[in-house]
Amino acid sequence: MTNDEAFKVLTEEYTLKLATTEQELQAIKNIRAEAYQPIYKLPYEQLEVKGYLFNEYDNQAFNYLLQHKKTGQYAGTVRNFFVNGKTPIKRMPMQKDGHVEGIEYLTQKFPIVEISRGALIQNLPVHNIFSALQLRTILTYGLMIATRINFILYPYERVFSIMELSMHHILKRQKVNFEQIGEPVDYYGMRTPFAIERIKLLEETEESMGAITRHYLKALCKDPEPFWQFIDANPYLDRSDIRLERICELFKTYGEEAELSYLLAEEEEMTAGI
Q: Is pLDDT at 267 greater than 90 in this prediction? A: no
Ramachandran region of residue 236, left (φ > 0), alpha (ψ -120 to 50) or beta?
alpha
Domain that includes residue 71, residue range: 3-273
Residues 185-212: pLDDT tens digits?
Answer: 998 889 999 999 998 998 899 888 999 9
Q: In DSSP terms, which residues pair with 180 in a beta bridge?
A: 194
pLDDT at residue 269 tops 90:
no
Closest listed residue to residue 16, CA positions, set 162, 218, 195, 169: 218
Question: What's the pLDDT band for 273 if we cut at 50, 70, 90?
Answer: very low
- Provide the percentage of residues in the chain whose pLDDT is more than 90: 79
Residue 83 bridge partners (DSSP): 112
Amino acid identity of residue 129, one-letter, is I
H or E element: which one contains 18? Answer: strand 14-18
Q: Rounded CA gap, 19 and 23, in Å?
A: 9
If one counts the domains in the chain, the total is 1
Least confident of 28-32, 68-72, 128-132, 174-178: 174-178
Q: What's the number of CA atoms in the CB half-sphere (13 Å) around residue 70?
A: 8
Half-sphere exposure of 15 (CA within 13 A, CB side): 12
β 112-120/158-163 pair status: parallel
Please list the residues that pair with 74 across neighbouring strands: 67
pLDDT of residue 270: 44
Q: What is the pLDDT of residue 274?
A: 42
> Percentage of the chain surpassing pLDDT 70?
95
- CA-based nearest residue to 66, from 6, 111, 110, 130: 6
What secondary structure does DSSP assign to 35-61, as a single string?
HHHHHH---HHHHHHTTSSS-GGGGGE
Pairing of strands 190-197, 179-180: antiparallel
Residues 214-264: tens digit of each pLDDT: 999 999 999 999 999 999 999 999 999 999 999 999 999 888 777 776 667
Q: What is the CATH number of the domain that holds 236?
A: 3.40.630.30
Q: Which stretch of DSSP H or E encloses residue 65?
A: strand 61-68
Which pairs count as long-range contacts for 24-30, CB under 8 Å and 24+ apart, including other chains? Answer: 24/65, 24/74, 25/54, 25/63, 27/65, 27/74, 27/77, 28/53, 28/54, 28/58, 28/63, 28/65, 28/74, 28/77, 29/53, 29/54, 30/74
